[in-house]
Amino acid sequence: MRNLFALAFVLSLTGCMNVSDMADGATYHLRDAGVLDYSKIRRSASWRLQPDSFIYIAQGPFTPSGKHAYPRPNVVAEEAFRGFVEYFPMVRRARAPVGLDEALGEARAAGAHYLLYTRFAYADDRIGTMEEWEDQEEFDRLGTDRSVLQLMLIETNTRFLVDTARIRSRGGFLTFYDAKPEDLIRAPLEDYARTLLGFSQ
């Protein structure tokens, strides 16, 4: 009898919402509980861009603060390019980390409307493998990775600061094995591209 009531309850729930909504809800709660990777984007403005905007992406030559994290020098620009190219067909990126003035010059020379200037502000690579444990052997270093990105969206002709954003990410317990802080940044950068077009995350 109990099984019959449980089945009726589940069927009533599925009648109220479709499967994709249930999956989205479950994913949201698993991220919030720390089981899956979680990111939070905090923007300073709600500015929207046209889909045909030409965006040049560059990363500052800044080594992130934090512990045991040594991300590739241009990893944020590379991942931002991969996240933005699906939503903005006209996207280019700098080949190496550059200063802000140099990045603006390169963006203008390329004919870009906007410069997305990124910085890996913080990265904490926690122990996630036996090799890392043998290296560090600190119980307080066990756990999930953390990262913080800072973004500036600048209009290239006027140097007008269109938007700033801070993306804070933490790894999930199902995905922390052999993970690095830079593994956390692709999805939120893609979400940021979506918000610039007015889509929800």
Give the domain ranges of the chain: 36-200
Q: What is the pTM of this model?
A: 0.77
Say if CB 71 and CB 59 are below 8 A apart: no
Superfamily of domain 36-200 in the CATH hierarchy? Anticodon-binding domain (3.40.50.800)
pLDDT at 70: 73
How far apart, in Å, are the Cα atoms of 153 and each of 28, 87, 118, 158?
Answer: 28, 16, 9, 12
Q: How many CB atoms lie within 10 A of CB 111?
A: 11
Confidence (pLDDT) at 31: 46
pLDDT given for residue 47 in this prediction:
84
Q: Looking at residue 71, what is its pLDDT?
A: 80
Q: How high is the mean pLDDT in each 10-residue block of the chain (201 residues)?
A: 52 56 46 57 90 96 76 92 94 96 96 96 71 59 78 96 93 58 86 90 58
**Cα separations in angstroms, 41 against 9, 71, 111, 144, 159:** 36, 21, 28, 19, 23
